[in-house]
Amino acid sequence: MNVRLISIVATVLIGVAGCGSGSGGGGGQPPPPPPPPITMAEAHQFLNQATFGATQAEADRVIAMRYEAWIIDQLQKPASLQLPHVQSIPIPEFIGQLQQDRVDIWFRNALHGEDQLRQRVAFALSEIMVVSQLGVLNNQPYSLASYYDMLARNAFGNYRDLIEDVTLHPAMGVYLSMLGNEKPDPVNNIRPDENYARELMQLFSIGLVELNIDGTVRTDGQGRPLPTYDQSIIEGFAHVYTGWTYAGSPVFRGARPTLLNQVVPMQLWQSFHDTGSKTLLNDFIVPAGQSGDRDLAMALDNIFNHPNIGPFIATRLIERLTTSNPSPQYVERVARVFNDNGTGVRGDLGAVVKAILLDPEARSNPNSDTDGKIKEPLLRLTQLFKAYNATSQSGRYPLGFAYIVFGQGPLQATHVFNFFSPFYAPPGEINDRALVAPELEIATEYLNTYVTNYFFLQAFGLNQTNQNLRPDDVYIDFSEEMAVASDVDALIDMVADKLLGGQISDTLRNEIAGMLALVPEAETALRAAETIYFVTTSPEYAYQR
């Protein structure tokens, strides 16, 4: 039990002990003590979980409003969208060039959108229900922008609606080959494609093995994990997902994307749908002779009502927002909210996100070496950008290369399994202790060097002192740091406040101070850049509390 919690419990117990039940004069129980104030470090911790990076202004809002009120306010914010921006740009000779503009608006929304929590959850969902620019969707920037907008709109909606919108979105239809999937035709050796049937279950909803409500694996009498489905179930779902293609297409086979049909749900061609019966999860039978729409509704209901959904989605979202190694109790508390939001509604993602962020395990001060998580490389960049008001003279963020430098970019995963596996554990102590650190899967020597070099370039070259910036160069502003740069302690404190929530170890502070002692006081820009570079490349910055 940490010091803060001990203090709260002691205060409550003292209050109870002091108000006996004797018959002497006095009214009822005294009011409970007010909750302790939120510290700046705690506000930063919260915002680094719930947004793309803490800022002083937003931390002040969290402190004033408190966590729950801030979340409730964010749940009401409309989605900042990508597609209208991408559609407003004249079509270039090669339409794939618009992927740069799609990434640009992603950064604008991530850094400046009022719906910070919605955008953060949409990014988390995009790492669970993956589609990617790298592959067959490279020339469909409209479709990808539309897909991300769909995730943002559904971020606080119902999970059942989300999986239907994902299933029928043409970006997913193309990426996992459900678009154009057709009923069996033995004469022409045609069998329904199983790709989407497999991944919707394995990656987007229930996983490979049965789970208890707390996310632990269910086993048989010999201690073997119980599988959630087998090949016959995959085939049953594959037959459900037949007969869908681009809306308004004049043909089914050979349908082609247009600027319009790649951003609206796919359309059913009943003549290409398999109307036979299908066996799904838990021996549920979809009867023969139904329409494709009805088959799809029954199939998605079958998945949505599987008992694995709550703990599976709870675990994935916890991992992406707060900690890589949640306790079974944490998973169970969130999974129960998924199963029932308190008013009898199953699948309320807004309630799930709120439960994740307000859970004692997310809000407690770090008190063990399994708390928190490694910060995703892209989130290290956005946090720096937000803290130092990164912008460009053109107002654009042309960072379409992010996946090359950081191993990550919006809808730029190399495969459907995301940038990294949720089960990845690097060799050594983490693996030996049966823990995971998913983000370390892309912490290769190659990418670590790229990331370190980019932060060097950002701190020393792409800042407000550079008189040779090009219109699209994204630069940071550390003029405030320059104003105090002659005072080593004040400079370190200011950078630590902005990037670490004020929590900096003596080791890191002493290393920075030793380096600054070698830089003349008059070199204020160099002092500021060195301090920012030291912090952004430190393990302390890479760790999300």
Residue whose token pair is 């809000």: 363
Nearest to 512 by CA among 528, 482, 526, 492: 492
Asked if residue 544 lies in contact with residue 503, where contact means CB atoms within 8 angstroms, the answer is no
User: If DSSP codes are grouped into helix, strand and coil, which group holds residue 227?
Assistant: strand
Amino acid (one-letter) located at 83 = L
Asked if residue 508 lies in contact with residue 535, where contact means CB atoms within 8 angstroms, the answer is yes
Locate the domains of the chain by residue range. Answer: 54-304, 309-363, 375-412+444-544
Q: Which residues, including other chains, have CB under 8 Å from residue 515's CB and lie 6 or more apart?
A: 530, 534
Nearest to 458 by CA among 397, 512, 410, 500: 397
| 488-500 helix and 377-387 helix, angle to the nearest 10 degrees | 120
By DSSP bridging, strand 373-374 and strand 543-544 are antiparallel
- Alpha carbons within 13 A on the beta-carbon side of 93: 0
What pTM value is reported for the model?
0.93
What 8-state DSSP symbol labels residue 205? T
137 backbone dihedrals φ, ψ, rounded to 5°: -100, 10
Asked if residue 107 lies in contact with residue 397, where contact means CB atoms within 8 angstroms, the answer is yes
Helices (H), 66-180: 67-75, 83-87, 98-112, 116-126, 141-154, 159-168, 170-175
Asked if residue 248 lies in contact with residue 261, where contact means CB atoms within 8 angstroms, the answer is yes
Residue 51's pLDDT is what? 98
By DSSP bridging, strand 244-245 and strand 267-268 are antiparallel
Determine the length of the chain: 545
Helices (H) then strands (E): counts for the chain: 26, 6
Encode the chain (545 residues) as per-residue pLDDT tens digits. Answer: 343 333 332 333 223 333 333 434 445 788 888 889 999 999 999 999 999 999 999 999 999 999 999 999 999 999 999 999 999 999 999 999 999 999 999 999 999 999 999 999 999 999 999 999 999 999 999 999 999 999 999 999 999 999 999 999 999 999 999 999 999 999 999 999 999 999 999 999 999 999 999 999 999 999 999 999 999 999 999 999 999 999 999 999 999 999 999 999 999 999 999 999 999 999 999 999 999 999 999 999 999 999 999 999 999 999 999 999 999 999 999 999 999 999 999 999 999 999 999 999 999 766 677 889 999 999 999 999 999 999 999 999 999 999 999 999 999 999 999 999 999 999 999 999 999 999 999 999 999 999 999 999 999 999 999 999 999 999 999 999 999 999 999 999 999 999 999 999 999 999 999 999 999 999 999 999 999 999 999 999 999 98
Q: Take residue 106 and report the two structure tokens written for it.
A: 């992603």
Q: What is the dihedral of CA 364, 366, 372, 374, to 10 degrees?
A: 150
What 8-state DSSP symbol labels residue 52? S
Q: SS in 3 state form for 11-26?
A: HHHHHHHCCCCCCCCC
- For residues 542 and 177, what is the distance between their CA atoms, to the nearest angstrom? 37
Residue 6's pLDDT is what? 31
To 5 degrees, how large is the angle CA 514–CA 517–CA 520?
155
Q: What is the dihedral of CA 365, 367, 369, 374, to 10 degrees?
A: 0
Identify the H or E element spanning 307: none
User: If DSSP codes are grouped into helix, strand and coil, which group holds residue 172?
Assistant: helix
- For residues 42 and 39, what is the distance between their CA atoms, to the nearest angstrom? 5
Q: What is the dihedral of CA 381, 387, 388, 394, to 10 degrees?
A: 70
